[in-house]
Amino acid sequence: MSVNPRTGAQAIIDGLQKQGVEYVFGYPGGANMPMFDALLDSPIKLILVRHEQGATHMADGYARATGKAGVVFVTSGPGATNAITGTMTAQMDSSPIIVICGQTIVNNLGLDAFQEADVSGISYPVVKHSYLIKDANDIPRLIRESFYLAETGRPGPVLIDVPKDISLSPVTESDANTEMQLPGYGIPTHGDSDTIATVAECLSAAKRPLLMVGHGAVISDAGRAIKTLAERMRIPVTNTLLGKGGFPETHDLSVGMLGMHGTAYANKTVMNCDLIMSIGSRWDDRIIGKAEVFCEGAVKIHIDIDSSEFNKLIQVDHCIHGDARLVIEELNTMLEPGDTSDWLQQIDKWKRQLPLSFKKQGGLKAQHVLHELDRLVGGDAVITTDVGQHQMWAAQFCRTTQRNHWITSGGAGTMGFGFPAAIGAQLGFPDKTVIAVVGDGGFQMTMAELPTAAINKLPVKVLIINNSYLGMVRQWQNIFFDNRLSGVDMEGNPDFVKLAEACGAKGFRIKRKADLTRILQQALDYNDGPCVIDAEVEKEDNVFPMIPSGEPYESMLLEEPKTKLAQPTGST
C-alpha cells in the first residue's frame, strides 16, 4: 500500500513540532489555508488573534518571557504587511520570532495577483533573515535554519514566505538529511582574553566606575555573573529601559534606569563616573543624549555580541566581542577590587537628595498607582508596557528583580505592544502574574485582542493609566511648543469597564486614592480570565526627571521648567 508523501504545509508543522513549538499565533486566509489545515493534526495550539499585529506582539511577548522563538502564521498581502510593525518591533529589541506567511502561487509572483505583496522584499530591513521558498523540499532545512538564526547570537525575527502551491507540493526530502547551510554566520562566544585582562585592570584602577546593564545582558542570562562582579568590586549598576531585570533594582548597588527619564541619581552617577562599562547595551540616543559630551573623560568599555554596534554612536576605549555572560564570567576570574567607598557614599547622598517622588495632594496620580502596584506584587510579576508616559513611570516605580519579568517596546516604541505581549508572556509563564501597563491611547490600538485573552481564559491584568491624553506627546507640546496642544486629547474614549465586560473580561475602575489598594488587590486576586483596571489619573502630569532629546545630562529637568524651552531636534 503506497503512502502519499507529506505536503509542504505538513512539513512546516512537523518542523515546528521538532523545534518544541507549543503555540502558533495566527490568522488564516486563502494563501495559508494549507498550513492551518495541517495544524489540526498536530498538538500545537493555535491562538487565533483578531489582528495580525496582535499575533506578532504575542509571539514577541512569548519569546521574551521564555527565550524560545514565538511563531506567527499570517496570510498573503495585507495579512503579511499587517505583521510588519510587530516584526520591526522584534528586530529593534532583538526578540526571536518566526513569521510564516502564505503567498500567491509561484507562477503568479510579480504579476500583481490577488493579495500579493513582495513580503520578503518588504521585510528585509526589519528582519534578521528572510526566505521565499520555491522548492518544497527546502522546507525541512529552512525551518531548522530559521529557528537557529532567530534564537542564536543576537536574536531577531526571521520571515518565511511560502507560496500556496509550495505548501501543497509533496516533500520527499527527509528531515534527517537536512544540513544547515549558513556560510559566514558565526556565533561569538568568549571574548578576547587579552582585552578582558585590560578591562579588568581598568576596573581595578577606576575610582568612580559604573556598570551599565542592557538588554543583551538579560538575553544572555548574565545577571548572576554581573551581580558577582558588582558585589566583589563594589561598583554601582545602572540599567537601560530594556536592561531591567539584568540586575535587581532593589539591590543597594543599583541606581535604577539611566537616560532621558532615568532616575536623577542614576544620571548624576553617569555625569560623574570615570569609567562606564556597557554590558549588552547599544548606547542608544535615549541613553547618551548629546554624544560629544557623554561621559566626557571617562573610560568607555563595550561588551556586545553584535560587533556592528561598536563605535556606532560613540567612540569607546575597549570593545569585547562576545556573549555577555561568558565575557563577565571570565572577567570575574581576573579582578582585583579597587577602592570605591567614597564613590558609593556620594551616590547614597544623591539617592537621599534626589529620590523618585510625586506630589501627594490632588487627584489620583499615575506614579501613585504604579508605586502601589510595585508594593503589592513585590517584584514577582511579569510587567509588559505600551509606549509613553505610563511606560516611563512604570520603568521608574515598578522595580524589576528577575530576568524576563520586564517586557516593553524600546527601540521601535510601538504603541499597542503591551497588551498582546502580555498574552504571549502569560502563555509562556502560565503560573506567573502578568500585568500589562498601558495608556488609554495605545490600548485602543490592540484592544481587539480582549476576546483572544478571554476565550483562552488567560488571567492577564490590563492596567490602563487613563489620563485621556496621548500623554507623552502632550508633555512635549507642553514643554517645547508653548502648550499648543494638537491632536492629543483623547476625548471620546470608550467606557473601558463596559468594553471589558462586553468582551468577556472583568472590569474594575479606580478614581479615588482611597480605593487604590483595595481595587488593585481585587484585580490581582482575579484569575478566572483577563481583567481590565481603568485607573482614571490626573490628566496633565508630566514625567520627570527628563533630559531633553539630544541634550547633555547637565540639562536634566527635575520639575516643570519656568519658561518655554527650545524645540529639541532629537526624536520624541
Residue 268 annotated to the active site: no
Strand, coil or helix: what is 160? Answer: strand
Which of 10, 25, 52, 128 is flagged as catalytic?
52
C-alpha cell at 364: 489620583
Which of 114, 201, 359, 567 is flagged as catalytic?
114
> Residue 69 contacts by C-beta under 8 Å, 6 or more apart in sequence?
19, 21, 59, 63, 96, 97, 98, 147, 150, 151
> Residue 358 contacts by C-beta under 8 Å, 6 or more apart in sequence?
365, 367, 368, 371
Phi and psi at residue 42, to the nearest 5°? -120, 165
Question: CA 91, CA 69: separation in Å to the nearest integer?
Answer: 13
Which of 115, 346, 402, 522 is flagged as catalytic?
115
Asked if residues 137 and 173 have their Cβ atoms less than 8 Å apart, the reply is yes
Residue 114 annotated to the active site: yes
Burial class (CB within 10 angstroms; exposed 0-12, middle 13-18, buried 19+) of 111: exposed
Asked if residues 269 and 293 have their Cβ atoms less than 8 Å apart, the reply is no
Residue 115 annotated to the active site: yes
Continuous H helices in 238-385:
264-272, 285-288, 324-332, 341-353, 366-377
Burial 141-163 (b: 16+ CB within 10 A, else e): bbbbbbbbbbbbbbbbbbbbbbb
Which of 260, 277, 472, 546 is flagged as catalytic?
472
Residue 472 annotated to the active site: yes
> Residue 520 contacts by C-beta under 8 Å, 6 or more apart in sequence?
369, 372, 373, 376, 510, 533
**Of residues 532, 365, 382, 381, the one with CA closest to residue 446:** 532
Which of 19, 73, 164, 443 is flagged as catalytic?
164
Q: Is the peptide bond before 355 cis (omega within 30 degrees of 0)?
A: no
Strand, coil or helix: what is 103? Answer: strand
Residue type, 399: R
Give the angle subtended at the CA of 126 by the CAs of 215 and 413, to the nearest 5°.
55
Instruction: Point out the residues that are catalytic.
Output: 52, 114-115, 164, 472
